[in-house]
Structures are given as structure tokens and as C-alpha cells.
A and B are shown apart, each in its own frame.
Chain A
């Protein structure tokens, strides 16, 4: 993986996040808009560029790792629901990263290596 392809992933990933967040911003009601908060924006950009640069075979382990990350994402959102009520959005949603780390990291260590 060259530096230029990693930088390309960063730029396209950032643009994809902006695009999905704009769709989410326009979405109504708020719970429906929330679906777009967990959209696969970075994943689409990253997997597409990996497929172009390294070939389709190289994308499969990324997708496998993403399955563990997704379990962490579900845990993150559930824990953030609990924490936002108590600590407000900024602190609650940052602390909830620990839930992602525990679940995604734990699954990776147990099954993914």
C-alpha cells in the first residue's frame, strides 16, 4: 500500500463522510436521520480504493475485520444512549468509544487474528 493510496483513501473517505452526513442532516425524523450516522461512508471509499490498487482479493480481510468493528459500533451506540442521558453528548459519546474498543478489540483478539 503506497502513501499516495492511503492519502487518497483519507480524502475520499472524508468526502464520503460529508456526503452521508448531509443526507442525515436532511433526514426526518431524528431517529431516521440517525441511520446515516452509522452509514458505511469510510468503508465504501476505503474498500473501493483497495480493490482498484491491490485487487479485489485484498479487500476480503478488510471486510472480515469490519465485521468485528461493526459489533463494536452496535455496542458503541447502545452505550452512548445510556451515557448521553447522564453526561451529555460530548463526554458521553467520547466515553462510549471504550465500548467499541472492548467489543471490537476483544472479538479481533479472540477470533480475528
Chain B
């Protein structure tokens, strides 16, 4: 992991560069679709066979991450793949907020799903900006690097 590259990347302005979508190959999208469809299928079958609570486990299974991280490492290097996984930790915490909010589905399915998406976005983006502003990313990087050395 290149600390300097990570620091430079972190200093980039937060936003979306939609022009980069032109470089996405159809095969890459196909791989993601296949993994996503496969895990949705597993969750559905597991829910039908072993019970919905067991099936629900797979709604938060990182099926697509190995493909995503491998593609990033191949195109942009290991540091960028590592940074993506680092953001994934915060996204996963947001996923917890999604799951808890989704329990309100009995009350109002459409409203609860929208609220759950907002909860995921608010928690994951909120944590991201908290980590970015307070320098917690640096501390996390040092901690994991120390454990990995």
C-alpha cells in the first residue's frame, strides 16, 4: 500500500465524474450482474428452503466485492483497491442502518424502503465525511498497516 498515493487520492474533491463511465467494459458489467443475480437467487432459495431469516443473511453478502476489487487492482493498482475496501467498511456500517430501518417494512413498504436507503446514504456518507475531516482515515491506515506488517 502506497501511503503517499492514498493521501493524494484522499485530497481529491468528493463528487462524481460521469465521463469515466465510458471506459466501463460490457464484460465488467456482465460479471457484476452475474454475481448480483446469483446472490439474489441464493438469498431467495435459502429463504424458501431454510427460512426467511436465514435467507436475509445473504442480502448483505459481499458477492460482488472480489470482482470489483480485483478489477480496480488490475486497472489502478493495489492502493486504490485497498482504498475502495476501506470505504466499504463505512458503507457496510450504513448497511446496518438500512437493515434496521427496513424492519419498518410492515408499517409502509414503499416508505420504509425509501427511508432505509436514506439511512444507508446518511450513515455511510456521514461516517465518510467524519473520517475525512477528523483524520480518522490516517489512524485507520496506520493501524491496519501495522497489523499487516
Binding site for B on A (CB under 8 A): 1, 5-7, 9-18, 21-48, 50-51, 56-74, 76-78, 80-82, 84-86, 88-90, 92-94, 96-97, 100, 104-105, 108, 112-113
Contact = CB atoms under 8 A, between A and B. Distances in A.
Given A10-B44, A11-B37, A37 B64 contact: yes
Interface in B87-115: 87-96, 98-100, 102-103, 105-109, 113
Contacts of B68: 21, 24, 37
A39 B91 contact: yes
A93 B29 contact: no
A74 to B, nearest CB: 4
Given A61-B56, A63-B103, A69-B61, A1 B47 contact: yes
Interface residues on B, range: 35 or more
Which of B60, B68, B109, B145 has its CB near the most chain A CB atoms (within 10 A)?
A: B60
Interface in B1-48: 1, 9-18, 20-21, 24, 29, 32-41, 43-45, 47-48
Contact of B99 (A66, A80, A82): A66
Contact of B52 (A18, A62, A78): A62
Given A18-B29, A40-B117, A89 B52 contact: no
B141 to A, nearest CB: 9
Interface in B38-95: 38-41, 43-45, 47-48, 51-66, 68-70, 72-73, 76, 78, 80-95
Contacts of A93: 62, 65-66, 69-70, 85
B147 interface: yes
Nearest to A52: B109
Which of B1, B12, B99, B102 has its CB near the most chain A CB atoms (within 10 A)?
A: B99
Given A69-B99, A89-B81, 19 more contacts: A14-B37, A17-B37, A30-B84, A37-B64, A37-B68, A37-B87, A43-B59, A43-B99, A51-B109, A56-B107, A57-B106, A66-B56, A69-B61, A70-B98, A74-B92, A77-B62, A84-B82, A89-B72, A94-B66
A106 to B, nearest CB: 11
14 contacts: A25-B24, A26-B20, A31-B84, A34-B84, A39-B95, A42-B43, A43-B60, A47-B113, A61-B51, A66-B102, A67-B100, A69-B56, A74-B93, A85-B145
